[in-house]
Structure 1
């Protein structure tokens, strides 16, 4: 009996445990289903929210795209309308040009017919005159010229002068149309040529500090940079002297730094010179880049730009060489455009034509030969190299670009105010000009006036007649062109004067 009771109790406890576990698992499954349902509902809500937001953004994007499309469509329609109008205008102009061309051709044909008729008539007249006079054409022309020269000498002289002036005016008119615009808008500053630079100092005590104990500071400065530092009794200033303009500029910057800092000793001097070299190199590089931009010459190698920038500190006859190179490049570009030549090559060759002057102190030879060597070293074209080489008279130009560069260089150097020569060169040129004129037969005296721009020649009236002074003026002008080098042009003014003197007693 107790055993049965125990077994029944065990079976009842197992059933109760199974029911309890089943109820727990059932409640757990219900709770998880509710959580899953809640998560699904939240996901649905988030999906609907994201979908609505995406639809709004899509609608906004669609409206923007539609607006852009409408604007572009409107622009395209306006452009098509303009193009159609231009096509109509061009068709009308083309038709007018065709009519004008046909009219010109017709008139040209008529003119040719008239010329042919005139030639036939002239030939008939010459044949008739030869039969009547029993002289051929050459004999008749010679006799007629002798007769005209003998009987109408004064009229012939006037006519000769008139024809010369007319021919000169026609040539000058063509030249002015090409050069006037260039000449009137280009100019460059005048810079005094000098191998010294004066630096201001705050007081006289600074001179002693610059000299240093037993002169060690000034010796260290001159040895480090190769520039003479001149200290004399001139108040509140010292002088830097050097033929190399770049070294002189480095010395100036270094000296101003030392004066401003106040600590002057050999170590500080070397440090200041090193910093000054870096600053001047930056200035040189920037000057080369700015020159290329100003001359509209892109794509030059950096090494060439560095050499070009050194011209910033170089002058010739008072004209800054970098400004001169930029001016020549701009003139060459305009000239090339006017005559239909290659303006890019002309500008590039003109900008680099004097680049050899920046290294001429270190490299022997004429500066234009050095310039050509630099251009060749950095792979520029043969046409540019030849144009650089031929901008002086020892090399004959063989290309249009070379002639343009030579002409542009002459324009820049010879225009009024561009350059300033030394007094000795000026006097020597005047003497040479007068000597050339006086060595011509029939010349009594000659005077160079207007700073060598004109030579006034007085001839012997009993040796040279009125017709002879025209020939004499041309002869003197030709000799000046062959024997002298000068900027611009020189006017030859020949004067023949007859005087009769009598005394009343």
Structure 2
């Protein structure tokens, strides 16, 4: 049955609508694809240009960085070259200084060699004299033998004594005569040798003692720093020892950390360095911050404090003694003597004592008191130099005083106070006397108790080991040894010879300040009883 006309019209319109919509959709899709394709092309072209621009900028930055690094490398090379050249210059300066010191040491060795040659010649002369004396003694013995024979014959003729009795009497008389002559001969030869060798021997011995005294007196080379607890020892040592090495390098002293509880020992022959190190260590211990940077800072500050104390001490001493204008370099040397000791005696205190003693003696002799006091104060300034210069402290002090404009009288008094130079004025004699008085005063120069007791025992043992000695006593703080002998075994000439022998043994085997008097006592006692 055919459709109605209205429905056929709707179907036709629907078909037309379908046929019209499909091409439109297809066209729109095609247009969208084309547009998308063109957008992708444009986007790809922009990305390529951006990429090229970024690569160009990166290349320019890389070249800029390269140029900066090359410039920095050149600057580092120049800086390293300058540092290397500075180190080379410093090394050359140190080598020049070392060379100069070696030249000085070589000159000193030449002088010592000359002195040894002179001494060898003196010993050869003394040996020849001894040989001649032996020959004379042999001739004397021959004469004595002839006389002995003659006396024996005479005794046989005029006496009824037996041969043995006559022989004993003759030997006793001859023994006393020969011993007396031998004692006189020995004394004469000793006096002659003393006159010839005294000045040279004194210079050599004094120089050696002054330079080696620090080796025989431990308290003159070390000081101790107390610690609140032993844990600080580990901090002082530091990791792998870096702190203790830094301290030793900065201060120039040796640090000894042992098992002694609560104590660190500082050791150095330079008393000024040792004092600065002590102050620095005490400050580090109190502060608690112990590391290389802090150590260098503390040592530097302590050194400045010690130098300031040296200057202040020199100024204070010169002001208190009222000796007029004294050059600043000499004041500084006086300040350094505060830290210098000799046999435990402060050299600065000793110099002030000599100044006062010289002034008192000069007043009694109607001399210039101020000049004598000036000589006394400056007589030991060479001891502030003798650790750093060649020569005895008397010669160094005299040369320094001459350089600083002191008068010839003061210079000679300094040079002659140990009799190394000939005294040219009464003031030089005053220095010798005042220096001896100050040094030999009991208690002026101290020793440790153990060394003191051992020295007294050694003195007594040296005396008692001789035959005929009954007892020996060390008195006056070891400055005299009194020897009691058996009067039946030791006669007067033998007692004199015994005192000489004991004195020589003390000189050879003991070390001591000043002088030791040897007194041999020989007495006879007779007793009886009244009933």
TM interval, shorter chain, is 0.5 to 0.7
Q: Deviations over 1:419-478 (max 9, x none)?
A: 125777986798689979999xx97667352124142242644773xxx57x96699589
Matches within 5 A, 1:2-401: 193-401=219-427
Q: Distance in 2 between matches of 1:397 and 1:208?
A: 57
SS of corresponding position for 2:220: coil
Aligned position for 1:455: 482
For the aligned residues, what is the CA RMSD?
3.7
Deviation at 1:362? Answer: 1.2
Whole-Å separation in 1 of the counterparts to 2:464 and 2:250: 54
Q: Distance in 1 between matches of 2:389 and 2:410?
A: 21
Deviation by residue 1:279-325 (Cα, 9 ceiling, x = unmatched): 00010111112222343323111111111111111111121111111
1:404 and 2:420 matched: no
Gaps of 5+ in 1: 1-190
> What is the alpha-carbon distance in structure 2 between the residues aligned to residue 491 and residue 227 of structure 1?
42
Change beyond 3 A, Cα 1:328–1:279 = same
Q: In the superposition, relative to structure 1, how do residues 311 and 192 fare at CA in structure 2: closer, same or farther (>3 Å)? A: farther
Give a deviation string over 1:304-357, Cα, whole Å, max 9, x none. Answer: 111111111111112111111111111111111111112222111111111111
* Matched pairs, number: 305
**Distance in 2 between the 1:260 and 1:433 partners?**
49
Helix, strand or coil at the partner of 1:496: coil
The whole-number CA distance in structure 2 between the counterparts of 1:434 and 1:260 is 49
What is the rounded CA distance, in whole Å, between the counterparts of 1:203 and 1:444 in structure 2?
55
CA contact (8 A) 1:433 1:480 kept: no
Query: 1:127 — aligned with what?
Result: none
Aligned partners of 2:501 and 2:428: how far apart in 1?
A: 24
Residue pair 1:438, 1:446 contacting (<8 A) in 2 also:
no
Cα pair 1:444 1:460 within 8 Å, conserved: no
> Does the CA contact (< 8 Å) of 2:345 and 2:444 recur in 1?
yes
Counterpart of 1:494 (choices 521, 526, 531) is 521
Take 1:233 and 1:434, find their aligned partners in 2: how far apart are those partners?
36
Which SS does the other structure have where 1:239 is aligned? strand
Residue 224 of structure 2: SS of its match in structure 1?
strand
* Structure 2: distance between partners of 1:230 and 1:492: 45
Provide the rounded CA distance (Å) in 2 between the counterparts of 1:209 and 1:320: 34
- The verdict on how the C-alpha distance between 1:294 and 1:193 changes in structure 2, with shifts beyond 3 A counting, is farther
- Per-residue displacement from partner, 1:225-250 (whole Å, max 9, x unpaired)? 11112223333332212121111111
Q: Tell me the distance in 1 between the aligned counterparts of 2:487 and 2:455.
A: 26
**Unaligned runs of at least 5 residues, structure 2:** 1-216
Partner of 2:439: 413
Structure 1 pair 397–432 and aligned structure 2 pair: CA distance change class (3 A): farther
Offset of residue 192 of structure 1: 8.7
Report the CA distance shift for 1:292/1:479 in structure 2 as closer, same or farther (over 3 A).
farther
**Structure 1 residues 460 and 195: alpha-carbon distance in aligned structure 2, compared to 1, 3 A threshold:** same
Report if the CA contact (8 A) 2:456-2:474 is conserved.
no
Cα deviation, residue 499, structure 1: 7.5
CA contact (8 A) 2:495 2:522 kept: no
Q: State the distance in 1 between where 2:440 and 2:231 align.
A: 47
SS of match in other structure, 1:286: helix
Residues 375 and 259 of structure 1: CA distance in aligned 2, closer, same or farther (over 3 Å): same
SS at match of 1:193: helix
Distance 1:339 1:474, change over 3 A: farther
Local SS of the residue matching 1:456: strand
CA contact (8 A) 1:410 1:488 kept: no
Q: Which has the higher contact order (CA 8 A, sep 6+)?
A: 1
* CA 1:268–1:433: 2 relative to 1, 3 Å: same
